[in-house]
Structure 1
Amino acid sequence: MRYKTSAKKKNGEIGLLLPKECEVANNDPVDLDSPLKNMTEIELLAPAKNLESGMAAINYGADAVYIGASRFGARAAASNSVADIELLVQFAHKYRAKVFVTLNTILYNNELEEAEKLIHQIYNAGADALIIQDMGILKMNIPPIPLHASTQTNNYATDRICFHDQLGFDRIVLARELSLREIKKIRAATSTELEYFVHGALCVSLSGQCYFSEVTTGRSANRGMCTQACRHPYNLVDGNGKRIILNSHLLSLKDLNLSSNLSELICAGVTSLKIEGRLKDINYIKNVVSYYRRKLDDILNSEREYVKASSGNTEISFDPDPERSFNRHSTHYFLSGRSKDLINTYSPKSIGKKIGTVEKVGSDYITMKATETVNNGDGLCFIHKNELIGFRIDKVVGNKVFISNTSNLLQGMVLYRNHDHEFIKMLEADKSVRKVAATISVTEKDNSLHFELSDEDHLSSGYTMTELPEQAKNPESADRNLVSQLSKSGNSMFNITDVKNNCQASYFFRMSELNEIRRILFEKHEAARIAAFARKDTGQQLKTIDFPQKEVDFSANISNEKAAQFYREHGVEKQEKALEVSSAKEKQLLMTTRYCLKYELGYCERFQEAQNTPPEPLFLEDQNRKYLLQFDCKQCLMRIRLEDKS
């Protein structure tokens, strides 16, 4: 396979190598400033730790959720029964929302039969798609469930992305490291749906290419058991053995927040905007999903060529703010090219929102210059000597904030709130229900009364009273009562915006009778909406095309015989087994990352023209081992290798 010459690098951005089969048909240059203008559904995709979180995500505005099954998900701690997935599917489909199930780990030979059986169960539960990593699944006898190529399938390499596009995946989950310019190029070169992360924790390694946890602890990230070695503290050691940075979180990235870039991503061709966080609690889901729903709705209301991917709206009683939930402070990562200040060297924990500075330090209290009110039970933190230190507010009296320990606090220190007691109470108390707009009409015909509920999606359900009630003695009061009672929606999923009384006569109803009619209408229509949802089976037929390389090493993550068969059938002549099913070697590659420690620290000779840099090679060091840092300046990648024990 031949490749185009890479584009010129700008601001440290990697030029994309496009396989020839993926070039634009007329070979015209890609217009990076011209948005794609189509009537396109835009999806807000949220994580679900469990059934409760999934229902909350949909209730607070998600168009789709992704959730782990009982096994084989990339978050082993977030597994769910097929029965719970089925309940979530039914809830989601009421709103024309979707449920995607993650089966995105690599599989062993003795797990293939169980995985195949589980996929059929997931399909029968009504799930809308399966997110996968292991190519062995493509050689199974599976139902026609749409398949999404997980970011773990290395959707950073353009030739791999184009292979997945041509192969027949229904969606490709793009790597977090890709820039906006690169996404536009990929969109021009592919036809399948594109999904991209917009919020949440960042893996410093290219997804699917991190072996740090597997090699050092035997717990594989590709098996859903990552120990998050990237969040640990390390020393930085130069080529002379000098420790130039001590006990610092040199690989711990800030969290992604692209809430100000949603319109650009949509115009670039991304149709699914993904929030990370399958281990986050329900309050995080309520807050962050609501925040992005508002942002996205503002765009959809102004850009008429794009439409919402599901039905209904939620009115909430709080003002969503992601800084008030778990966050390590935010970054745009590589969206606009390479930049510095991507890590928090002092802690991988939640830092929260800046709320002011210390004004005065007393023996058991402080006073603050605060931008927001602080409350009893709040958790505050500050950075002291490159360490994050936290404390709890015992009580607030006037302008004094009483705490148990004021040591290390100094006048002028910046304070952050990483536990907002009142905001959390507000989130827990909020029981908002997503509502689908609907109207009810009452019509008299053939000596019967027909009640019809019609919703915003033009679906209707009816209820007929075969015997007419007695005519009202007070018509005006009866008509008013009819409209008033049928307009009530309570905690149902409907928002009755209008009740049309088309009857010539006025009829007397007891309040309980109208309540029962309304209940029946709501119950019937809720069931009708579930039944009317047409799950789309995949129309894709997997194609026999050549894989971009004739040889693949352990990073292809081939851990079972079906995956090996897949690569052979797609032209791979030589293949290595996955690291998980082979013996680890000394000097093993642990991680490949676009994040570059030299650039972060100002040591980059290429883009920063740095001089007097530390002698190389550079190493990371923890209590157990040393790890060699290798810098591929041509590709702008950093690799971390395990050093021999000494």
Structure 2
Amino acid sequence: MKPVELLAPAGDWESLRAAVANGADAVYFGVDKYNARVRAKNFRVEELADVMAYLHKYNVRGYVTFNILVFEDELEEAKRLVEACIDAGVDALIVQDMGLVKLIREISPDFPIHGSTQMTITSPEAVEFLEPYNLEVVVLGRENNLTHIKKIAEKTNVPLEVFVHGALCVSYSGQCLTSEMWGGRSANRGECAQACRLPYDLIVDGKKKEMGNVAYLLSPKDLAAIDLVPELIEAGVSTFKIEGRLKSPEYVANVVSKYRKAIDEYFAGRDYKPSEEEIRELQQSFSRGFTHGFLKGTNNKQLVDGTFPKSRGVFLGTVKKVLKDAVLCELQAPLKRGDGIVFDAGRPEEKEEGGRVYDLRKNGKKIEGEVSSGLVEIVPGRHDVNLTRVHVGDRIWKTSDQELDRRLRKTFETEQPYKLFPLTVHVSGELGKPLVSTWHDETTGHSVTVQSQELLQQAYKRPLTSDYVKEQFGRLGGTIFELRELSATFTGDLILPVKELNRMRREAVAQLIELRQCPRRYEKRKVEVTINKQPKQKAINPNLIALCRTMEQIEAACHTDVDFIYADFEFTTDYPKAVQAARQAGKPIALATPRIHMPGENGILKGILKAEPDAILVRSLGAVQYYTSQAIDQTLIGDFSLNIANHLAVELFLSRGLDRITPSYDLNIQQMIDLLEAVPTEKIEIVIHQHLPMFHTEHCVYCTFLSEGTDFTNCGRPCEKHRVSLRDRIGMLHPVRVDIGCRNTVYNAIEQSGAEYLPNFLELGVRSYRIEFLEENANKVEEVITLYREALEGKRSGTSVWRTLKAINQLGVTRGQLVKK
């Protein structure tokens, strides 16, 4: 069995050292602004060579995260960063943008690329789609369970990387548009505002469902799969990835060391189960409560706690009684003086009481040392906690442990290697010549030869022996090496001063380290990022497309002069009805695939073909691969979820069989114009009106809060009986809808219109415009289609459309992400 790579996060130098010192095989980190954690300290391009030299000294690989979308005006700068990574000998780039993949391969055919989880790779077909680009590793979606992982591993030779610890995104990575919609801070640009961690009211069929202090309906617990290490390895996982580039170096040291132990124990053939103390230490560094996420399958009841959105640490117990200067608690975990605590009254959005433990007492008598259980009086610092705000029943959490932090810091404050690397040495010598030593680094395969500067002389007593030389050459303390074996060939009795042997040892070590730190070499071609701005002709007779989500909307659209109808139903089994209705009305129709494609779901894609639509709206890499690998007659339209943000990505997807593409919703108006100027606009389709799909998640709100079940097999299908919305802090109701895979999409409450930008798009030659409906009735469908048709024909201005929509919609209308920021 191949060794499993343990991959650690590093947001700064301290975290980098913590990862290396505690046994990481590889480290991933961001450089400047082009990564999915722009709030981390990150590293500068100028530091790349030093970072890689440090990592390679300890035989640790370094991966740079470039896991965001790249806009048209950034391609030149992106190219320079790619070239800098190649020059610095970076071991791989972690990439989301398919246009960037294309650019990297144009620059270098052999520079390693890792497909980011932001690519939303969740099926064997998605992995197969990436094969022409020779990706070294693919990072699977966090929603893939062990069965999925095994199925994917069986169908590919590409190494698979899986997240095993840290924060979980409630939305599929690469498919969350909430931050972009609400604040212009795109998760696809590393600026996630964590809207999933906010409180929401659950509105069921128009009425608020009372759920006590459960308000954080989209805030998942943290992933902890340390007890699943054997199952993950046996399922075919090649890399275990730890989340946390915004976390402390102590967190990195803690988590890396625990998973290092679990992996090593497995390969040593020993059964390993993390102890209660080890789990508590993991919780102490950062925890919103631990879960296996989706690795053991979907369990909506276990994924979300709902009562708090932030790290709590270790649960100690509840307040039994409030005393004059202390609280009484039945301890469920160890506690000592100096530990940090917080009192949880179930209102985490308010200021909570907390501070350091000043004393511990039992029956009024002070207790020395750590207490692990029993009825204990916890005395907080008198200036830390206002006990009048603490109540019986409040939960108590241990938020920090200074002793644990000190122990973790010791692991990386001094540069002690996690392990020593073995050397084998051969020495030979004869009278009157230098002593020749050849040193072999068994880990890297490097060898160096070092000769003595003094000549060997005749020994009259105590001549050189292999044991004596081994003793001198083996004095490698303070280095990263240990001498495993030494062989010697001497002709006669010879002698050399010990100081010369020591010099040879130091020189050999220096040369071997220098070899380790030399940048890896890759092929690099000179590439120009050329943007050929083609002359554009104003679009004549543009097409208007209506995407409908109900049969009522389909029938209403059939009564208009819309050019094309798309059906996007919760249940794709209803697609034949939509095709029949469109056929009867003489309208061409496209059917939309689900946004996610999992192993075993090809039957859904096959069913879409069986319904015989005129076109298919393709929403995932897996679906693109499934359809383009067959000889089908249908037109294939790539949707926004493919995250196409630059002309290179447009070229790539068109060359792979798509007939038309929809740009990413991350583009504002200027970025959209930049893209349109660089691509054949007859191949572009723009969504001009919609409720933006913000979260797309495996977590089912219906199952979690309207059912006693845990997943689709036992939930009773409340989604078929009820309509749910999430009400945010300013009172907006965001509809939650379910797809055929029981995944939820949370849509923005307010409709979005790009009507005011229609003149720009028409001038640039865009011929295809899409309106998307969500809950509109037949009259509203016809009214909106008429408005946009008049605008496309020049009978009404975009501003007029905007004003009319604002007047007829109760919540008004927004320009959404298109507004230039």
> Which TM-score band (shorter chain)?
0.7 to 0.9
Q: Hey, what does 1:420 align to over in structure 2?
A: 401
**Letter of the structure 1 residue corresponding to residue 401 of structure 2:** D
Describe the superposition over 1:273-322 as per-residue Cα deviations: whole angstroms up to 9, x where unpaired: 1111121221111111111111111122229xxxxxxxxxxxxxx99942
Q: Structure 2 vs 1, CA of residues 557 and 500 (structure 1 numbering), >3 Å: closer, same or farther? A: same
Residue-by-residue CA offset, 1:333-368 (whole Å, 9 max, x unaligned): 111211122123222221112345656643222455
For residue 330 of structure 1, the aligned residue among 259, 268, 290 is 290
Contact 1:586–1:643, Cα closer than 8 Å, also in 2: no
Counterpart selection for 2:192 from 209, 226, 247:
226
Shift of 1:209: 0.5
Residue 261 of structure 1: how far off its partner (Å): 1.3
Kept after mapping to 2: 8 A contact 1:554/1:578: yes
CA shift, 1:104, in A, is 1.5
Query: Partner residue of 2:607?
Result: none
TM-score of the two chains, using structure 2 as the length reference: 0.65
Describe the superposition over 1:76-116 as per-residue Cα deviations: whole angstroms up to 9, x where unpaired. 12332223222222233334432221111111111111111
For residue 22 of structure 2, what is the aligned residue in structure 1? 60
Unaligned 5+ residue runs, structure 2?
Answer: 271-277, 361-365, 368-376, 525-623, 630-634, 670-687, 751-809, 812-821
Contact 2:636 2:657 in 1 (8 A): yes
The separation in 1 between residues aligned to 2:355 and 2:388, in whole angstroms, is 13
Q: Gaps spanning 5+ residues in structure 1: where?
A: 1-38, 304-317, 539-543
The offset of 1:483, in angstroms, is 5.5
> What is the rounded CA distance, in whole Å, between the counterparts of 2:521 and 2:707 in structure 1?
53
Q: Give the Cα–Cα distance (whole angstroms) in 2 for the partners of residues 289 and 349 of structure 1.
A: 22
Q: Are 2:6 and 2:26, in contact at CA under 8 Å, matched by a contact in 1?
A: yes
Partner of 1:636: 742
Partner Cα distance (2:73, 2:5) in 1:
36
Deviations 1:617-636 (A, max 9, x none): 22212223524343426311
Q: 1:201 to 1:516 in 2, by over 3 A?
A: same
Report the residue type matching 1:59 in the other structure: A
Which residues in structure 2 correspond to 1:92-107 (within 5 Å)?
92-107=55-70
Q: Which amino acid aligns with 1:164?
A: L
Q: What residue is the counterpart of 1:143 in the other structure? A: 108
Report the residue type matching 2:23 in the other structure.
Answer: G
1:383 aligns with 2:344: yes
Secondary structure of the residue aligned to 2:251 is helix
Flag the 1:440–1:160 CA change in 2: closer, same or farther, 3 A: closer
Q: Does 1:294 align with 2:256?
A: no
- What is the match of residue 417 of structure 2? 433
Aligned counterparts of 2:739 and 2:446: Cα–Cα separation in 1: 58
C-alpha spacing 1:521/1:242, structure 2 compared with 1 (3 Å): same
Alignment-derived partner of residue 25 in structure 1: none
Q: Are the counterparts in 2 of residues 239 and 614 from structure 1 also a CA contact under 8 Å?
A: no
Contact 1:346 1:383 in 2 (8 A): no
CA deviation after TM superposition for structure 1 residue 205, in Å: 0.4
Aligned counterpart, 2:223: 256
Contact 2:337 2:356 in 1 (8 A): yes
Partner SS state of residue 341, structure 1? helix
Q: Determine the structure 1 residue equivalent to 2:308.
A: 347
1:494 to 481, 491, 501: 481
Between 1:386-395 and 1:616-625, the stretch displaced more is: 386-395
In the other structure, the counterpart of 2:705 is 601
The one-character-per-residue Cα deviations of 1:106-165 (angstroms, maximum 9, x if unpaired) are 111111111112211111111122221112124433223122221111213554333224
**Structure with a larger share of its residues in helix:** 2
Going from structure 1 to structure 2, the CA distance change for 1:580 and 1:611 (only over 3 Å counts) comes to: closer
Aligned equivalents of 2:497 and 2:326: distance in 1?
Answer: 65
Is the Cα–Cα contact under 8 Å of residues 177 and 694 in structure 2 kept in the other structure?
yes
Tell me the CA shift for residue 251 of structure 1. 0.7
2:723 pairs with 617, 632, 642, which one? 617
> Size of the alignment, in residue pairs?
587
Residue equivalent to 2:171: 205
Q: Which has the larger radius of gyration?
A: 2
Q: Hey, what's the Cα distance between the residues in 1 that align with 2:465 and 2:326?
A: 64
- Following the alignment from structure 1 to structure 2, what is the Cα–Cα distance between the partners of residues 519 and 367? 61
1:266 aligned to 2:233?
yes
SS in 1 for 2:152: helix
What amino acid is aligned across from residue 284 of structure 1 in structure 2? Answer: Y
CA contact (8 A) 2:163 2:243 kept: yes
Compared with structure 1, are the counterparts of its residues 633 and 417 closer, same or farther at alpha carbon in structure 2 (3 Å cutoff)?
Answer: same
Q: Output the TM-score relative to the length of structure 1.
A: 0.81
In structure 1, distance between residues paired with 2:485 and 2:317? 48
CA distance in 2, matches of 1:580, 1:550: 22
Check if 1:123 corresponds to 2:108. no
In 1, are the aligned partners of 2:201 and 2:209 still within 8 Å (CA)? Answer: yes
1:162 aligns with 2:128: yes
CA, structure 1 residues 498+243, in 2 after alignment: closer, same or farther (shift >3 Å)?
same
Q: 2:77 matched to which residue of 1?
A: 114
> Helix, strand or coil: the match of 1:467?
strand
RMSD over equivalenced CA pairs, Å: 3.5
Q: Identify which of 80, 90, 112 aligns with 2:43.
A: 80
Distance 1:250 1:609, change over 3 A: closer
Q: Which amino acid letter does the alignment assign opposite residue 429 of structure 1?
A: K
Measured in 1, the distance between the counterparts of 2:37 and 2:494 equals: 60
Confirm or deny: 8 A CA contact 2:36 2:67 kept in the other structure. yes
Q: Which amino acid aligns with 2:54?
A: F
The CA distance in 1 between the partners of 2:55 and 2:130, in whole Å, is 28
What fraction of aligned residue pairs are identical, expressed as a percent? 31
Q: How far apart are the structure 2 equivalents of 1:355 and 1:478?
A: 63
Q: Distance in 1 between matches of 2:101 and 2:317?
A: 54
Match of 1:276 among 217, 240, 243: 243
Deviation digits for residues 48-90 of structure 1 (CA, Å, limit 9, x no counterpart): 2134423432332121222212232111123322232222222
1:445-484 aligned within 5 A = 445-447=430-432, 448-457=434-443, 459-468=446-455, 475=462
Query: Would you say the 8 A contact 1:550–1:574 is kept in 2?
Result: yes
Q: How far is the alpha carbon of 1:580 from its aligned partner?
A: 2.0
* CA distance in structure 2 between the aligned counterparts of 1:497 and 1:371, rounded to whole angstroms: 48
State the SS of the aligned residue for 2:169.
Answer: coil
Instruction: Indicate if the aligned counterparts of 1:627 and 1:641 stay in contact, CA closer than 8 A.
Output: no
Partner of 1:570: 656
User: SS of the residue aligned with 1:581?
Assistant: coil
